[in-house]
Structure 1
Amino acid sequence: MKMSTEPELIFLPGASGSTDFWQPVLQKLSFKHKHVIAYPSFGGHPEQENIKSFSTLQQYVLRQIPQNAVVIAQSMGGIFAVQAALQMPEKIQALVLVATSGGIDLSRFDVKDWREEYKNTFQVPDWFVEHAEYLDEKLHEIKCPILLIWGDSDPISPVAVAVYLQQKLAHAELVVIEQGQHDLAYEYADQVSAHIEHFLQQNLKAEL
C-alpha cells in the first residue's frame, strides 16, 4: 500500500516548551517529514514581541501547521492540536494526543496540580500556566482519526481523562503504557513510536 501524499508530522511540546522532549520518538518514526514547533519564550527559545498571551501563542502555532499534517502533542500542547483540528480540519489528517487534557474541564477528575511545580522548574510565562480553556462540547466536531496515548501511573493526566476524551471524540482509540507517567513519550519512546507508526499506517489516506 502506498501513501497518496506523505504527511508532515508536527510535534508540539508540553508546557516546558522543550523541543528535545520529542526527539527519541521522532527519530524512531519512519516518516520523512518531521518537525517540532518551538514556542517563543519557552524552553530557552527567544521571545517574540507579539506573543504575550495564550491566544497569540496559539495563533502562532496554528500558522506553523502545514497542509497534510499529523499533529502529535504532549500535555498542554494538546490544546493547540485540538484547536488545529477544529479551526482548520482541511489541513489535519490525524491527531496523536499524549497525556493531555485536550482543553477539557479537569475539575471532575482527581488530578495533581502541575502548575506551581512547572513555574518553579521551567522557564514558562505566567499567562501560559494560568490559562484555562474548555472545549468539551466541541470535541465531537473533530472527524479525523485520533490516537490517545496515556500512562497508567500519571498523576497529572490519569487514564480516566483519556477515557473521557475517547467518549467525546468521534474517532479515537486509546492505548495505555504500563508504568507510564507524564513523561511517558520520552521514557518509553520505543513503545510510543511503535503505537504511532502502527496507527498512522492504518489510518492515513492511502492508495493501492
Structure 2
Amino acid sequence: MEYPHYKGHKLINGNDLYYEYYKNESSSRTVVLIHGFLSSTFSFRRLVPLLQEEYNVLSVDLPPFGNSGKSTQFVYSYENMAKSVIALTQQLGIEQFILIGHSMGGQISLNIAYMQPELVEKAILLCSSGYLERSKQSLILLSHLPFFHLFVKRHLAKSGVLKNLQNVVYRQELIDEEMFHGYMKPFLEEQIFKGLTRLLRDREGDLPENVLQKIETPCLLIWGEQDKVVPLHIGKRLKKDLKNAKLVVLQETGHLVPEERPEEVFSHIKEFIEGA
C-alpha cells in the first residue's frame, strides 16, 4: 500500500533540517528515526517500508549530513542536535513520539529522552554510541585552523567508503553498488567537511552514568553481536545504567543493523512498541 510521503526542509536553529515524513492515517503513533555518524536517512531505507505499514514515520538528516545544511555557524553539539529534532517535531505538529536512533543517533535519542521525557513514549537504540568522551583539547584547538577541514577530508578519503562499509557490515555480500553510492554521496560536497570540523569541536562527551541513570523512558537496545564500531559490551553497560531497558542481541550481525537485519529489527521494534 502507498502512503503519503513528504520530503521537506525546515530552518531550525539557524540551519536547514531535511526530513522525510511518511503518514499512516490509521495510526496515532509516530516513530522518529535518527541516523548515525557519517550517515543519513539512507541508512533506514530497508526499515522505513516496514515501519510505515504500522506507524507514521519521520526520518531526519542531522546536520551536517545528508541533505541537511552544513552551516559553519551551527553548534554541532548533541544537545543542539537533540533540540533541533524536538523543534522539527513541534513544527510538524507531533506531540509525542517513539525514538529510533542508530549509533550516534542513539546518543542523541538519549539526550532527547533526558531533556524532555514527556515527549518520548519509548526509545529504541540500535547499536547506540555510549560513554565516548569529548575530543582531546589539542584536537579541538587544531580544529580552529582555517584549513583544518582539508585534514578531515584527507583522513576520511584515506579510510574510504568501501573500507568503512566493510567495517560496519558483518555479511560482506550485502555491500552492493546502491549501498556504496548511497553512503558515498554526502561526501561529494565540499561543505560537509567544514561541518564535520565543527562537529569535532562542538561534540560534548556522551551522557555519563549519573545522567543515564536518571532516564526512565522504556528503552529497547538492539545490538549486533559482531559490532566492531560500538562493541556489545557498550550495550550491556547501557542496559545496566538505564533504569528501564531490555537488550536484544542479533547473531552474525555487525554495526549496521537496519541494513543487515531489517525484518528482525522491525519485529523486535513492533513487539516493544505494542507491549505494555
Which of 188, 198, 201 is residue 261 of structure 2 equivalent to? 188
How do residues 15-26 of structure 1 correspond to structure 2 at under 5 angstroms? 15-26=37-48
Cα drift, residue 162 of structure 1: 0.5
For residue 99 of structure 1, what is the aligned residue in structure 2? Answer: 127
Counterpart CA distance in 1 for 2:258 and 2:154 is 20
For residue 117 of structure 2, what is the aligned residue in structure 1? Answer: 89
Cα drift, residue 27 of structure 1: 1.1
Kept after mapping to 1: 8 A contact 2:218/2:244: yes
For residue 127 of structure 1, what is the aligned residue in structure 2? Answer: 198
Cα drift, residue 132 of structure 1: 4.2
Check if 1:155 corresponds to 2:179: no
Which of 69, 75, 81 is residue 103 of structure 2 equivalent to? 75
Kept after mapping to 2: 8 A contact 1:67/1:92: no
Structure 2 segments unaligned to the other structure (5+ residues): 1-26, 134-151, 162-186
Point out the structure with max Rg over C-alpha: 2
Which of 85, 89, 92 is residue 61 of structure 1 equivalent to? 85
Bigger relative CO (Cα 8 Å, ≥ 6 apart): 1
For residue 35 of structure 2, what is the aligned residue in structure 1? Answer: 13
Q: Against the structure 1 CA distance between its residues 43 and 64, is the aligned structure 2 distance closer, same or farther, given a 3 Å change threshold?
A: same
How do residues 162-173 of structure 1 correspond to structure 2 at under 5 angstroms? 162-173=235-246
Cα drift, residue 165 of structure 1: 0.2
TM-score by length of 2: 0.62
Q: Against the structure 1 CA distance between its residues 101 and 47, is the aligned structure 2 distance closer, same or farther, given a 3 Å change threshold?
A: closer
1:141 alignment partner, SS class: coil
Identity within the alignment, %: 23
Kept after mapping to 1: 8 A contact 2:82/2:112: no
Kept after mapping to 2: 8 A contact 1:71/1:81: yes
- The one-letter code matched in structure 2 to 1:14 is G
Q: Against the structure 1 CA distance between its residues 92 and 56, is the aligned structure 2 distance closer, same or farther, given a 3 Å change threshold?
A: closer
Cα drift, residue 44 of structure 1: 4.2
Cα drift, residue 105 of structure 1: 3.9
Kept after mapping to 1: 8 A contact 2:63/2:76: no
Cα drift, residue 152 of structure 1: 0.5
Size of the alignment, in residue pairs?
A: 191
2:275 alignment partner, SS class: helix
Structure 1 segments unaligned to the other structure (5+ residues): 107-114, 204-208
Of 157-166 and 55-64, deviating more is: 55-64
Counterpart CA distance in 2 for 1:56 and 1:172 is 25
